């Protein structure tokens, strides 16, 4: 797997909805040519209405506006929400629209979990933040802690082409060498000099030809780590190969810190991750549970040289089923900034997980339970692939006629 790394990118870290939404909505509302939005969750709440108004303004400006949502994550958008957008010419689509059996949604797996925004081919946003009020602190104790980045520079055109392909293809394949060459020839000149910006790459995961791309990038970075690894991930239950790379890094003297959920929005996620605690801590990995509110971030930084921000968790659904998108960054300034943010979380909002003494019976039971649960979840995506499935599609969203 060869990534198309580009230099000369300007990358800005955005923390939570308070920083993310104002910037995204400002740029969308000012768009003149094209707006591309992909999101797993879009709710008809305060944030969803702000997005609606920004999209309407972009359409009024004459921009071509496309909105792609996931059919599972955004199943109940009303005609009051969709209607004005459709009337304004916004192209609305759903990935794998909702299917119900006796009133229950059945299209649970293989979700479009990406969170991408591209405006006028000049600005792109990638991260884990959906369009819903639970990414704002005003939501209360269950408001999510999360991250995204804004990108300006050559990488934007790669993300733009990817999003354009996603409008009709559920799982767009990676561009051919001929398409990449044509893109480079037609790419607008970036106002930043290459030396002034970051080197970055766009990496995706799908169920066709790129099943392990994101996981392999994590593993390669861990094998190269020399001094410090910090991974903050909301839903953590990776396969044994990634776990082995984490343990090996710690054993060769790298300081490895994991920030996991301590105040989970889904308790099962914390319970699953806890089965791995002893296995990792005994190898020297330090585990911190973020307890201030639910952690929703999917970020990492290594040696102040490499970083990633995106939508992919390190669990069976993200690594084996969902369509995901991350950006990899090789830039000391950005990696250092992300490290400082994560160190602040560990120092001020986390509790360190310590091994607890256990009876012989209790220890044996935990090991037996962990063994079966781990191997069940590790093979979960492969089992799902063997079940009969319906091919996902991208379909137009239309307001319901009364």
230 CB-near residues (< 8 Å, 6+ apart): 257, 259, 300, 301, 302, 339, 342, 343, 346
Q: Count CA atoms within 13 Å of residue 42 on its CB side.
A: 25
Helix (H, G, I), strand (E, B) or coil at 176: coil
In the CATH scheme, what architecture does the domain 205-385 have?
2-Layer Sandwich (3.30)
Low-confidence ranges of the chain (pLDDT < 50): 186-195, 359-361
Phi, psi for residue 124 in degrees, rounded to 5: -130, 150
pLDDT value of position 191: 43
User: Encoding tokens for residue 60?
Assistant: 């009024």
Per-residue pLDDT reduced to its tens digit, 326-368: 999 999 999 999 999 999 999 999 999 998 765 444 566 666 6
pLDDT value of position 307: 98
Helix (H, G, I), strand (E, B) or coil at 306: strand
What ranges do the domains of the chain cover?
6-200, 205-385
Per-residue pLDDT reduced to its tens digit, 124-153: 999 999 999 999 999 999 999 999 999 999
* Domain 6-200, CATH: 3.30.870.10
SS3 percent helix, strand, coil of the chain, rounded to 5, is 40, 25, 35
Residues with catalytic function: 113, 115, 120, 296, 298, 303
User: Encoding tokens for residue 26?
Assistant: 């400002």
CA dist 259 and 251 (Å) reads: 19
User: Encoding tokens for residue 379?
Assistant: 């093979």
pLDDT value of position 398: 77
pLDDT value of position 239: 83
171 CB-near residues (< 8 Å, 6+ apart): 206, 207, 208, 323, 392
């Amino acid at each position: 797997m060869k990534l198309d790394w580009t230099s000369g990118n300007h990358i800005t870290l955005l923390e939570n909805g308070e920083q993310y939404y104002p910037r995204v909505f400002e740029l969308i509302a000012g768009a003149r040519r094209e707006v591309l939005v992909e999101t797993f969750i879009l709710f008809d709440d305060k944030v969803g209405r702000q997005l609606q108004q920004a999209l309407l303004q972009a359409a009024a400006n004459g921009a071509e506006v496309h909105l792609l949502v996931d059919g599972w994550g955004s199943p109940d958008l009303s005609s009051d929400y969709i209607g004005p957008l459709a009337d304004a010419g916004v192209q609305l689509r759903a990935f794998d629209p909702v299917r119900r059996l006796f009133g229950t949604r059945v299209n649970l797996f293989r979700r479009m979990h990406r969170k991408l925004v591209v405006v006028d081919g000049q600005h792109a946003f990638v991260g884990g933040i959906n369009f819903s009020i639970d990414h704002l602190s005003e939501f209360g104790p269950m408001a999510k802690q999360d991250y995204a980045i804004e990108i300006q520079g050559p990488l934007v055109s790669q993300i733009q082409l990817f999003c354009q392909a996603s409008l009709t293809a559920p799982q767009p394949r990676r561009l051919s060498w001929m398409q990449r060459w044509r893109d480079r020839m037609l790419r607008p000149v970036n106002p930043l000099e290459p030396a002034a910006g970051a080197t970055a790459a766009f990496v995706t995961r799908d169920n066709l030809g790129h099943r392990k791309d994101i996981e392999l990038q994590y593993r390669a970075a861990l094998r190269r780590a020399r001094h410090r690894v910090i991974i903050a991930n909301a839903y953590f239950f990776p396969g044994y190969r990634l776990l082995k790379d984490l343990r090996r890094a710690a054993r060769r003297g790298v300081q490895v810190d994991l920030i996991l959920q301590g105040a989970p929005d889904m308790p099962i996620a914390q319970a699953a991750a806890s089965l791995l605690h002893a296995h990792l801590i005994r190898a020297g990995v330090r585990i911190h549970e973020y307890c201030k509110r639910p952690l929703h971030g999917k970020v990492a930084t290594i040696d102040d040289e490499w970083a990633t921000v995106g939508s992919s968790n390190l669990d069976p659904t993200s690594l084996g089923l969902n369509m995901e998108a991350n950006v990899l960054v090789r830039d000391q300034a950005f990696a250092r900034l992300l490290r400082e943010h994560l160190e602040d979380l560990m120092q001020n909002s986390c509790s360190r997980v310590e091994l607890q003494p256990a009876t012989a019976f209790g220890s044996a039971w935990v090991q037996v339970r962990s063994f079966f649960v781990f191997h069940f979840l590790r093979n979960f995506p492969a089992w799902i692939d063997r079940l009969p499935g319906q091919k996902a599609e991208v379909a137009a969203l239309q307001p319901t006629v009364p």
